[in-house]
Amino acid sequence: MNQDMTKGSPLKLILLFTLPLVIGNILQQMYQMADTYIVSQTLGVNAFAAVGSTHSINVLVLGLAIGLTSGLSVITAQRFGKKDEKAIRENLAASVIIAGAVSVVLTVLAVSFRRNILEFMNTPHELIGFANDYLTMMFIGLSGIVLFNLVSNLLRAIGNTKAPLVFLAIASVLNVVLDLAFILVFDMGVAGAGLATVIAQFISGLIGLVYIKRSVPLFRIHKEDWAAGMKQIKEHSAIAFPMGFQTSLIAIGMIVVSMTLNTLGPEAVAATTAAQKIDSLATKPLMAIGVTMATYTAQNYGADKLDRVWEGVQKVLKVTTIYSVVVGAILIFFGQYFALLFVGPENTEILEMTRLYFITNSAFYVLLSSLIVHRYTLQGLGKSTAPTLAGLFELFGRVGAVLLLSKSLGFVGVGLSNPIAWVGALFPLLGSYYALKRQLTGGKTIRPFKKLANVIK
């Protein structure tokens, strides 16, 4: 069912739209945690740490593809707000063309250079074989992951969050079943875990295509739409590629963090892997609200209802601030006990590191929530310069912090690199948001970082 977000209470619409996304994100994180749990319990700590060591590389490659599909859905949401069905079909055609081409190029590059990247990152000798096997399967099946995310994001652009949730539930169940089959029955090791993920998402993506064909006439592309889509590739690329690159910029910083962790030993890698699983679960609702804000903003921007955009941002920031404080406090005091899901109580050094990770990250969730809300709002408005600049600031902040602080503070210095990166990213985002709000409303708006705002505007 499509949802028009240009009418009704902004906060109520945003929260109702976010709820299925939160459920889906938590479901996705749970099956990823189940995936990791199966690996750790059947293949050992080194296999567990190896899969964790690939996280930044996955974000670099898969994040580019997934961020691209999110960008492709922005214009679709804007056209949906305008109620222009012909333009929506043309946008869909352009999205399919771009996503298909990017999938082929990324697959070839990622498969060809996966081992080189692992070696460049100084991946420990005892982990590199496992990590290479896992990445091989993930990258070979990259097109399936792109398909799944493209279908889901385009449906969300027209306000449909229930169907993507069902597709994700199917993928989750399939992934766990295939994990057990490939690892325990067929003895495929960590490669089986990667293969299970891509097959599950590919099948769910195909189910999504069938659903669109049968139930979403708005997305039924006509022959003439393909020609129009070719002409619109430039317009879509101007939004989609910067959104994809923003994720990759973040990933480059994460790779530097991973390289530093690798020098601190397998224990540091294992601790970060366990902590990040829990941290990711805790921040999924914030990410879901971000995705919602992109759709909500794009629809209202397309309908020329900017007052609703500003009202939505103001109210959502209050909700995310409260959430960040409460969840951050829970992880600071109890996070290390959650880490027992992945490492045994005898691994006291690893558990202590997870405690330090939560102290240095969860205390600053308020910064992260503000970053997410403003970034996705700007993206929904079709603005890519400030979010891309924020990605660069985040990259420089994370890399600079990890290289400098890890020498004096060790693992704690690595943990502090995230909040420092968030502070850096907030400068261009807040400056651009308030400058743009002033420009579009013509009113007197308080603008932090006034000089930077004028530059970005």
Mean pLDDT is lowest, of 78-92, 336-350, 386-400, for 336-350
Task: Compute the distance between CA of residue 398 and CA of residue 199 in angstroms, rounded to an integer.
Answer: 34
How far apart, in whole angstroms, are the C-alpha atoms of residue 77 and residue 3?
A: 11
Instruction: Write the CB contacts of 235 (distance below 8 Å, at least 6 apart in sequence).
Output: 75, 94
Q: What is the mean pLDDT of residues 149-175?
A: 90
55 has a pLDDT exceeding 80: no
Looking at this protein, which amino acid is placed at residue 391? G
Q: Is the pLDDT of residue 359 over 90?
A: yes
Tens of pLDDT, residue by residue over 329-339, are 999 998 888 88
pLDDT digits (tens, 9 = 90+) for 387-410: 889 989 998 988 888 888 888 888
Q: What is the pLDDT of residue 195?
A: 92
pLDDT band at 452 (very low <50, low <70, confident <90, very high): very low
pTM strictly above 0.85:
no
In which band, very low, low, confident or very high, does the pLDDT at 43 lie, cut at 50, 70 and 90? confident
pLDDT beyond 90 at 258: no
User: For the packed helices 190-215 and 125-140, what is the interaxial angle rounded to 10 degrees?
Assistant: 20
In order of 43, 52, 130, 228, 266, the CA distances from 114 in angstroms are 22, 15, 12, 37, 20
pLDDT at 444 over 60: no
| pLDDT for position 1 | 60
**Does residue 289 carry a pLDDT above 70?**
yes
Residue pair 117/132 in contact (Cβ under 8 Å)? The answer is: no
Q: Specify the higher pLDDT residue, 452 or 111.
A: 111
Mean pLDDT, rounded, for 248-277: 81
CB contact set of 216 (below 8 Å; sequence gap of 6+): 155, 158, 160
pLDDT at 250 over 80: no
Confidence tier at 87 by pLDDT (50, 70, 90):
confident
pLDDT band (50, 70, 90) for residue 328: very high
Half-sphere exposure of 146 toward its Cβ, with a 13 Å CA cutoff?
26
| pLDDT for 41 | 77
- Give the pLDDT score at 446: 41
Instruction: With cut-offs at 50, 70 and 90, classify the pLDDT of residue 453.
Output: very low
More confident site: 419 or 274: 419
Q: What is the mean pLDDT of residues 238-259?
A: 80
pLDDT digits (tens, 9 = 90+) for 10-40: 999 999 989 988 888 777 777 776 777 788 7
Percent of the chain with pLDDT over 70: 96
